[in-house]
Structure 1
């Protein structure tokens, strides 16, 4: 079973965390089901950038993002080569190391 390793984030996960994850689960769902409150303003339908994450290790094990995700990522704060939307990054058979960016472009936090 692959692991998702979340690097420390000052507010959401100060000490970092490691979770086992089922294949076919999104990075966002792993975070949310384990108490890491990554924003997800569009309710996981690839219509915003609030669940933007950086896949520091294991990026190549993910399917490529589709055109819609790529268009959304163009609007994300702190976009990098290894950026993905957490709702679209589906875990396969390899471990992932995930960094949660410090900021999002969400103007209002809905408190999910």
Structure 2
């Protein structure tokens, strides 16, 4: 089990426990914990409605694939630490990672 810290749209940070032996994505974990993640495309890196910004632990993540990078490039609020939660499979090296929900920032 690992701990992921999640900052919601109000700025509140909560820690959630996550198994690393089930091949879950961060998107699936967020949805299971009732965070407002639309995940319209179902995790195919086609919609960016699961956009997060990795505030701590970014250096531990694998590199983004071409599909993810193409989708992130369409976001007006994308930053160097932007990732699609659907493309992040939970792994032991993510323990302690802090992610900030960012999908609806584009509407602000």
State whether TM-score is above 0.5. yes
Higher helix proportion (structure 1 or 2): 2
Please, what is the CA RMSD of the aligned residues? 1.9
Name the CA shift for 1:15/1:27 in 2 (closer, same or farther; >3 Å).
same
Q: Which runs of 5+ in 2 are unaligned?
A: none
**What's the TM-score, normalizing by structure 2?**
0.83
Give 1:95 deviation, angstroms: 2.1
Q: Which runs of 5 or more structure 1 residues have no equivalent in the other structure?
A: 107-112
Is 1:73 paired with 2:72? yes
* CA pair 40-99 structure 1, distance change in 2 beyond 3 A: same
> Which structure 2 residues correspond to residues 74-89 of structure 1 after superposition, within 5 A?
74-89=73-88
Higher strand share: 2
- Are positions 1:3 and 2:3 aligned together? yes
Query: How many equivalent residue pairs?
Result: 103
Deviation at 1:105, TM superposition (A): 5.5
Query: Distance in 1 between the 2:105 and 2:45 partners?
Result: 15
Look up the SS of the partner of 1:44 in the other structure: coil
Query: Given the two structures, how large is their TM-score scaled by the length of structure 1?
Result: 0.81
